[in-house]
Structure 1
Amino acid sequence: MSKFGELIDVEIPVLLEFYTDWNDQSTAMHVVLRDVAAALGDKAKVIKIDVDKNEELAEALRVKALPTLIIYKGGEMKWRQSGEVDANSLIDVLQEYL
């Protein structure tokens, strides 16, 4: 999990999406996340984490529903939500932490 710590312990917001390929809501979010990443450029990171390949991390963060979206900044969780969110709403939330 030390790699995870390095991933989130940065001064720009990091949006994580916990997903699986077999979950339709998760796969629908991929397009939204691409739009968010394009809109914010290098002001924020957008990272997708496959729950099937990262079970230990998902369990440690108590990810129960998919997709689960979490924003970290400076190693601290700032925001969390499960379910689909539109691109504009995610951009608005991320801008609070820029």
Structure 2
Amino acid sequence: MAAIQDVTDANFDEVVLKSDLPVLVDFWADWCGPCKMIAPVLEQIAAEQEGKLTIVKLNADQNPDTVRRYGVMGLPTLNLYKNGEVVKQLVGAKPKRVLEKELEEFL
């Protein structure tokens, strides 16, 4: 089962932008209820898409530089990066089927 790794301002470029696979970054915070609601869904998708998609989490409160860099205004925000570029942004908690549909063209 694929584990969702934490990324920080310090390792974001290395882990996300230089990845050979598409990377879905979950911008979240401890105080964010919807962030907690989608966490198990993201774990399921990470396991099901292992080898095709990497999912990582970035704590927005602890990593403000990356949050500012990508203009993240609300949580949760899910940015999908491919070849170092944001190719899709989803804001707010979404059901699993909606997330899968939004991601399918990039897998």
Q: Same fold (TM over 0.5)?
A: yes
Measured in 1, the distance between the counterparts of 2:50 and 2:27 equals 21
Measured in 1, the distance between the counterparts of 2:11 and 2:29 equals 20
Structure 1 runs (4+) greater than 4 angstroms displaced: none
Measured in 1, the distance between the counterparts of 2:15 and 2:84 equals 8
TM-score (norm 1): 0.89
Measured in 1, the distance between the counterparts of 2:38 and 2:31 equals 13
2:9 matches 1:6: no
Q: Which residue of 1 aligns with 2:55?
A: 46
Q: Percent identity of the aligned residues?
A: 31
SS of the residue aligned with 1:70?
strand
Structure 2: gaps spanning 5 or more residues: 1-8
Contact 1:69 1:81 in 2 (8 A): yes
Contact 1:13 1:94 in 2 (8 A): no
Measured in 2, the distance between the counterparts of 1:12 and 1:41 equals 10
Measured in 2, the distance between the counterparts of 1:35 and 1:88 equals 11
Coordinate RMSD, CA, aligned? 1.5
2:44 matches 1:35: yes
Structural mapping, 1:64-83, within 5 Å: 64-83=73-92
Count matched residues.
98
